[in-house]
Structure 1
Amino acid sequence: MTKSIPNTFTLLNLLSGLIAIICIFNGYYDHAFLLVCLGIFFDFWDGFLARKLDAQSALGLQLDSLADMVTSGVVPGLMMFKLFDTIQQNQPEYMLTEATYYMGVVPYLGLLIPLASCYRLANFNIDTRQTNSFIGLPTPANALLIMSIPMIQYVDSYQWLTDALYNPYILLGITLLSCYLLNAEIPLFALKFKTFSWNEAKLQILFMIFAIALLLLFNFVAIPLIILGYISISIIVNQFEKK
């Protein structure tokens, strides 16, 4: 019974992603964002509980990747698809060419994100270097990055940023950068807590304080800054460890 608890949390992560997909296609982007956050919350606790309850298993590993593929792979890809599609319908002056944008080719470029996420998750399962840290941006972090784009429009003081982001060239650049970061050979510290001990998790605790401070200051605009900070801090920490 105890060993089923982590898998239940994993399935709740998957359920959150499935409902988020429905929300996206009904235009409820804010609900989809919250559901992805909820899925990531469940994703955090399934691993933590598996370690604490000594319930880690090969089945749990596969379930975790499959759930992440939906919540942190398919969902952000579909969100990017809808963002491209919104531009196509409402801002035709941004069309790339009549033969691409108006034939509906460009929105499908958003599906590069699920493809890159799938490759990253499959590689993670067989890469023995990623047992205690990550190489490349974790899919949950990437999902938050993509899902934050439509949320910025709800912050009045950053309307100029929303206008800038709703440009197919900017969205394409974000899509390609996202795909690169997911599979780049960049060592990143693990975000999941194995313990709440200060000596063993001080980097994660300090980063969480940093993230919360940015969220309080900049609202949804903080999310891309947090992801950028996560990558930058990891690079700095790696340089110090090498020395």
Structure 2
Amino acid sequence: MNIKKHIPNLITLLNLLCGCIALVYASNGNYFAAFYFVCLGIFLDFFDGFFARLFNVASPLGLQLDSLADMVTSGVVPGFVMFFMMKNSQHEIGTHEIWNYLGFIVTLGSCYRLANFNIDTRQTESFIGLPTPANTLFILSLPLILQYSDSLILLEVLTNQWVLLLIVLVSAYILNAEVPLFSLKIKKFTLKDNALQIGFLLFSLLLLGFFQYLGVALVIISYVLLSVINNAKAKKAIS
């Protein structure tokens, strides 16, 4: 029995377990634990592919398992969290329960992206549209910003149902938008070839150090904005 070929799939299933545990904590209002179990799941999601390549045991089964696990950890969980945020928000749109379920638009957008990613050959080296793990970290940082921030402005903004609905819609859009995002992989070990990646990493560390959970959201927003700027510069250089 070749044990090596089962290691990546086991790691993927542990990612799925982390997503299930995060759901339980989120349902009990413990967004702190939910956030860190999602972080652990995303960490495992990186290493299942790493070990599959290391042991040369990548398989169609592993690909399907990976997407199914991500669907929970980076699809159902953020939609679940947005459902509760909208439920606990200022009901300016209305108090009908249907508005709360709009939070699951994030889940629908994540599902479409994960399915499309499996058949999109353009995303082998970099991403088109925001990856579901990055979107999930952004969404799960929001209730923690509310919990740990003293800013009354942030409190008012992130409890406004219109703002939350906008976040949901933009989130579902950017997951599937035809926007190339620069790769964070180090391919060549020279400063010139990795200036953007290294600069972004250092900038991200500063944001996290100064703003904590707000920094998580700012890092994801910065990643998208820098990619858009980088794309514009690349097009200008070509023309």
Query: Normalising to structure 2: TM-score of the pair?
Result: 0.90
- Distance in 2 between the 1:49 and 1:210 partners? 29
CA 69–196 in structure 1, closer or farther in 2 if over 3 Å, else same: farther
Letter in 1 for 2:121: T
Q: Which of the residues 31, 37, 55 maps onto 1:53?
A: 55
CA 177–233 in structure 1, closer or farther in 2 if over 3 Å, else same: same
Residue 150 in structure 1 maps to residue 143 in structure 2: yes
CA 45–208 in structure 1, closer or farther in 2 if over 3 Å, else same: farther
CA 161–39 in structure 1, closer or farther in 2 if over 3 Å, else same: same
- Distance in 2 between the 1:77 and 1:173 partners? 14
CA 190–6 in structure 1, closer or farther in 2 if over 3 Å, else same: farther
Structural mapping, 1:45-194, within 5 Å:
45-87=47-89, 91=90, 94-97=91-94, 101-102=95-96, 104-191=97-184, 193=185
For residue 127 of structure 2, give the secondary structure of its aligned residue in structure 1. Answer: strand
Shift of 1:34: 1.0
8 Å contact from structure 2 (residues 15, 45) kept in 1 = yes
Corresponding residue number in structure 2 for 1:4: 6
- Distance in 2 between the 1:33 and 1:77 partners? 13
Corresponding residue number in structure 2 for 1:27: 29
Letter in 2 for 1:96: I
- Distance in 1 between the 2:50 and 2:195 partners? 17
- Distance in 2 between the 1:57 and 1:16 partners? 23
CA 38–148 in structure 1, closer or farther in 2 if over 3 Å, else same: same
Letter in 1 for 2:62: G
Aligned-residue Cα RMSD (Å) equals 2.0
CA 40–171 in structure 1, closer or farther in 2 if over 3 Å, else same: same
8 Å contact from structure 1 (residues 69, 118) kept in 2 = yes
Tell me whether 55-64 or 129-138 shows the greater mean CA deviation.
55-64
8 Å contact from structure 2 (residues 92, 162) kept in 1 = no
Shift of 1:201: 5.8
For residue 157 of structure 1, give the secondary structure of its aligned residue in structure 2. Answer: coil
- Distance in 2 between the 1:148 and 1:33 partners? 7
| Alignment length (residue pairs) | 233
Contiguous gaps of at least 5 residues in structure 1: none
Shift of 1:235: 2.2
Residue 217 in structure 1 maps to residue 217 in structure 2: no
Identity of aligned residues (%): 52
1:116-172 CA distances to partner (integer Å, 9 max, x unpaired)? 110001010001111111111100011011111100023343343022211100000
8 Å contact from structure 1 (residues 73, 118) kept in 2 = yes
For residue 3 of structure 1, give the secondary structure of its aligned residue in structure 2. Answer: helix
Shift of 1:12: 1.1
CA 211–167 in structure 1, closer or farther in 2 if over 3 Å, else same: same
For residue 58 of structure 2, give the secondary structure of its aligned residue in structure 1. Answer: coil
Letter in 2 for 1:163: E
Shift of 1:197: 4.6
8 Å contact from structure 1 (residues 79, 146) kept in 2 = yes
8 Å contact from structure 1 (residues 152, 158) kept in 2 = no
- Distance in 2 between the 1:209 and 1:78 partners? 32
